[in-house]
Amino acid sequence: MSKKRDTWSSRLGIIMAVAGSAVGLGNFLRFPGQVAQNGGGAFMIPYFVSLFLLGIPLMWIEWTLGRFGGGFEHGTAPGIFHSLWEKNRFIKYFGVIGIFGPLVIFIYYTYIESWTLAYSFFALFGKYNQATNQTSMQAFLRGFQGLEKNQFFSGGLGVAYIFFLITFILNCWVIFYGIKRGIEKLCNIAMPLLFIFGIGLMIRVLTLGVPNAGKPDWNIINGLGFLWNPDFSALKSAKVWLAAAGQIFFTLSVGIGVILTYASYLSKADDVVLSGLTAVSTNEMAEVILGGSIVIPAAFVFFGPTEIGNIARSGMFNLGFVTMPLVLSKLHFANLFGFVWFMLLFLAGVTSSVSLAQPAVAFLEDEFDIDRKKAVGIFTIVSFILCQAPIFFLSKGVVDELDFWGGTLFLVLFATVETILFAWVFGMERAWKEVHYGAKMQVPRVYKFIIKYITPLFLLIILGFWFYQEWIPVIFMKNISQGAKPYILFTRLGLLLVFIILVILVKLAWRRRMNIKKGGAK
């Protein structure tokens, strides 16, 4: 390679960046929704089991694989997988998922992220103050999304599109400046701000009184109890286990390919054990302590235990964009607290979305020796075109479809492949030694057994349950309305085309590498 790869400027920088990738909208929107849908404390036992058996092992696996691949000047999964198993000429094509998944998530995540920026301004200037109940606040959201016209929101999709453009440009601007001057600098500013906003909101929520005198049981203590009181009967439910495992994947950004890319910019002596554990801890603090202590108790106090579940089941975004604005509107300085809530979401979103763009950019840089300016330009044009589908066809289920393939199925499939590669192909003894290279602390030896046997088995069970329970309805679109089916089919064909193009690019990249090697040998 003709140019020097970018690097992180400090250990704090990489921890902040990986934590920024992990701490996203899922911590403050998806996690409370999953808790509410799955019976509160019933969800938390499988959640923590999944954290220790899936989340932490996968975090160490990806940090180690990324650092290992970076030593061969590979920053993405195709090259990293090839470095692990050079004799297998097909394994690099499995790594395509590590570029495909983040790209697919980016093209709808950025649009949703732009809603949080828009709502920050709406809150500050009191634009949704006339919406005083669940129905009118949902109408405001649907009006903003361009799904309907109503008296609560005027401007329609045009306003939403302006905020999307601002958000998209901001993401590309950060990516343009690279690892050290772009992503690291953003995360070093955004993450402390996020925690300041989160802690401030948490303190305000935990000091709420009992607003409904007729419902004394609707109080903060019972709201926290809804989250933390365990329900051991839930351990019998496969649905709750699958939901918990899925949340761990989503919240830690494991199984996507992002951490592989971030870790590829480490030096050989960098400590991946402590850094990975610190990133997990930071994310869990944001999700469980802040995300769990803000949304769930606040919603419990104002709407009660039954209504929380109903709200969560009515749509993933309703707790964050409908319920929380209504809760905060009842407080003193409502507009300010509303701004803080949505700006917190925006900061969480933007630190995640820039990480989703990095694998595609790194692939162009590393495998085709394209300079960053040109690589970011190519990514900007391609992703901008792809972003139009979730914006204009939101009502047709395109976002849900993209989330399923990019953020659910391929995520678990990718994690399964990389775990088996790490523990069985690379070899557990060699892998264990690689994990501890430069480490200041020893991973408990039980994790040697967990990574080799329990984690891959857990992943295979999750995949097996999905294929057993869900694949026929999903493939044949049995739960899709007749009017939406053409859009979903078009989306699937588009995703297939993107995947095929990425496979071709990987093939071309390796042909190029072989030609360079042959030229060097001569």
Q: What is the mean pLDDT of residues 49-55?
A: 94
Short-list 69, 60, 84, CA closest to 272: 60
* Phi, psi of 269, rounded to the nearest 5 degrees: -85, -5
Q: Does residue 464 fall inside a structural domain? A: yes
Q: Are 113 and 350 in contact (CB under 8 A)?
A: yes
Q: What is the mean pLDDT of residues 204-221?
A: 79
Q: What is the pLDDT of residue 189?
A: 96
**Whole-number Å distance between alpha carbons of 70 and 264:** 4
**Whole-number Å distance between alpha carbons of 424 and 86:** 14
Dump pLDDT digits (tens) for 246-274.
Answer: 889 888 888 889 999 999 999 888 999 99
Q: What is the pLDDT of residue 212?
A: 65
Q: Are 261 and 68 in contact (CB under 8 A)?
A: no
Least confident of 183-192, 233-242, 505-514: 233-242
Short-list 322, 320, 496, CA closest to 401: 496
Buried b (16+ CB within 10 A) or exposed e, 251-281: bbbbbbbbbbbbbbbbeeebbbbebbbbbbe
Q: Are 171 and 183 in contact (CB under 8 A)?
A: no
How many folded domains does the chain comprise? 1
Across all residues in the chain, what is the average pLDDT? 90
| DSSP-assigned letters across all residues of 85-100 | -TT-SSHHHHTTHHHH
Q: Does residue 437 fall inside a structural domain? A: yes
Q: Residue 435, Cβ neighbours under 10 Å: how many?
A: 25
Least confident of 208-217, 280-289, 330-339, 370-379: 208-217
**Whole-number Å distance between alpha carbons of 514 and 483:** 49
Q: What is the mean pLDDT of residues 451-472?
A: 87
**Residue 478 burial class via C-beta count within 10 angstroms: exposed 0-12, middle 13-18, buried 19 and up:** exposed
Q: What is the pLDDT of residue 233?
A: 74
Short-list 24, 17, 13, CA closest to 287: 24
Q: What is the pLDDT of residue 304?
A: 82
Q: Residue 508, Cβ neighbours under 10 Å: how many?
A: 12
**Whole-number Å distance between alpha carbons of 400 and 383:** 18
Please tell me whether residue 279 adopts helix, strand or coil conformation: helix
How far lies 16's CA from each of 168, 253, 511, in Å?
22, 14, 36
**Whole-number Å distance between alpha carbons of 297 and 208:** 9
**Residue 436 burial class via C-beta count within 10 angstroms: exposed 0-12, middle 13-18, buried 19 and up:** middle
Buried b (16+ CB within 10 A) or exposed e, 153-187: beeebebbbebbeebbebbbebbbebbeebbbbbb
What is the percent of the chain with per-residue pLDDT over 90, rounded to a whole number? 59
Short-list 225, 257, 461, 231, CA closest to 362: 257
Q: What is the pLDDT of residue 368?
A: 93
Q: Does residue 303 fall inside a structural domain? A: no
Q: How confident is the model at residue 162 (pLDDT cuts 50, 70, 90)?
A: very high
What is the residue type of 172?
Answer: C
Record the pTM. Answer: 0.93
How far lies 87's CA from each of 304, 331, 434, 451, 505, in Å?
59, 63, 20, 23, 20
Q: Does residue 216 fall inside a structural domain? A: no
Dump pLDDT digits (tens) for 63-116.
Answer: 999 999 999 889 999 999 999 998 888 999 999 999 999 999 999 999 999 999
Q: How confident is the model at residue 221 (pLDDT cuts 50, 70, 90)?
A: confident
Q: Does residue 486 fall inside a structural domain? A: yes
Dump pLDDT digits (tens) for 297-343.
Answer: 888 888 887 777 677 676 667 888 988 999 899 888 999 999 999 99
Please tell me whether residue 504 adopts helix, strand or coil conformation: helix
Q: What is the mean pLDDT of residues 201-212?
A: 82
E strand spans, 216-372: none
> Is the C-alpha dihedral spanning 466, 469, 475, 481 positive or negative?
negative
Q: What is the mean pLDDT of residues 405-429?
A: 91
Q: Does residue 344 fall inside a structural domain? A: no
**Whole-number Å distance between alpha carbons of 178 and 40:** 41
- Residue 153 β-bridge partners: 150
The whole domain housing 500 covers 11-185+225-284+357-521
Q: Rg (Cα) of the chain, in Å, rounded?
A: 23
* Phi, psi of 23, rounded to the nearest 5 degrees: -75, 105
Q: Does residue 248 fall inside a structural domain? A: yes
Q: What is the mean pLDDT of residues 282-290?
A: 91
Q: Does residue 339 fall inside a structural domain? A: no
Q: Are 387 and 164 in contact (CB under 8 A)?
A: yes
**Whole-number Å distance between alpha carbons of 421 and 500:** 23
Q: What is the pLDDT of residue 488?
A: 96
Q: How confident is the model at residue 29 (pLDDT cuts 50, 70, 90)?
A: confident
518 compared with 380, residue with greater pLDDT: 380
Q: Is the pLDDT of residue 1 over 50?
A: no
Dump pLDDT digits (tens) for 428-444.
Answer: 999 999 999 999 999 99
Rounded to the nearest angstrom, the gap between the alpha carbon of residue 464 and the centroid of all alpha carbons in its chain is: 23
Q: What is the mean pLDDT of residues 359-376?
A: 95
**Whole-number Å distance between alpha carbons of 35 and 510:** 45
Q: What is the pLDDT of residue 67?
A: 95
Q: How confident is the model at residue 35 (pLDDT cuts 50, 70, 90)?
A: confident
Residue with tokens 């992503």: 183
Q: What is the pLDDT of residue 107?
A: 96
